Homo-oligomer: A and B are copies of this chain.
Amino acid sequence: MNLPLHERIRQDFETRILSGALGPGARLPTEQALMAHYDCARMTVNKALSALATAGLVDRRKKAGTFVARPRVHAMAMDIPDIGAQVAERGQSYRFDLGLRRELDGGQARPEWRVDRTVPLLELEGVHFADGTPFAWEHRFVNVAAVPEMLLADFTGSSPGTWLLEHVPWTEADAHITATGASAAQARALTVALGAPCLCVERKTWRGSEAITYVRQLFLAGAYELTAHFGPGARRDG
């Protein structure tokens, strides 16, 4: 296969960096040196090195040169599966029990989620079941100005998350993942002991600049796990 020259140059250095031949802090040749080495124009070299800089593999500083970046915050791709679909995939039956449904407005929202006072909200609280056993609890606020159809939706059986995913694809989201002990109310809903360890996922989603929903989900330890992967290929077993 005949790769473009700028791509070949880029890969040459990517390989050397990832293999460790060029360690963090190592200086790459100047563009002048590279255009002599590859016998090409400066723009071609520049394109290759700029791509590496965009990818975060190198840092470029005027006058100083191009240096292999120190690997710091590696971002991994985390799967955010639909709870119901995931349970069904394991061959278990899925159910969602709605415990609380209330209409309110932005002024009464949780401090974690700041929305305008005038925004109409829907508050939902419920429990997810797998084969009749509760395994997750969730508390959610939805901006019904953004999703008016939600007021008519029925959540006996399928979860609000599934409904939202199908009706309002989000464009932006923030998630915080922590561990926590179940509170009294949560422990009762999940029929576990007070303080039982749970995985807590807190998520805010937007469509464009419009806040869509804020949700706090508690998963019983052992009943759920998040997976993340970084790298070129698919998941491995190892």
B-binding residues in A (CB < 8 A)? 17-20, 23-24, 51, 54, 70-82, 85, 113-115, 165-181, 195-200, 204, 206-209, 211, 219-222, 224-233, 235-236, 238
Contact assessment for A18 and B80 in the assembled complex, using a CB-CB cutoff below 8 Å: no
A-B contact pairs, 19 of them (CB 8 A): A18-B171, A19-B207, A20-B169, A71-B169, A73-B79, A74-B170, A76-B77, A76-B175, A77-B78, A171-B231, A172-B230, A172-B233, A173-B231, A174-B229, A176-B228, A177-B228, A179-B219, A179-B220, A197-B221
Contact assessment for B80 and A73 in the assembled complex, using a CB-CB cutoff below 8 Å: yes
Question: Mostly helix, strand, loop or mixed at chain A's interface?
Answer: mixed
Top 6 closest A-B pairs, CB basis? A172-B231, A197-B197, A179-B199, A78-B78, A71-B169, A179-B221
CA distance A79 to B78 in the complex (A): 10
Contact assessment for B82 and A72 in the assembled complex, using a CB-CB cutoff below 8 Å: yes
CA distance A75 to B82 in the complex (A): 11
Minimum Cβ distance to chain B for residue A12 (Å): 16
Contact assessment for B175 and A228 in the assembled complex, using a CB-CB cutoff below 8 Å: yes
Q: Tell me whether A177 and B54 are in contact in the complex, defined as CB-CB below 8 angstroms, given that A73-B81, A208-B18 are known contacts.
A: no
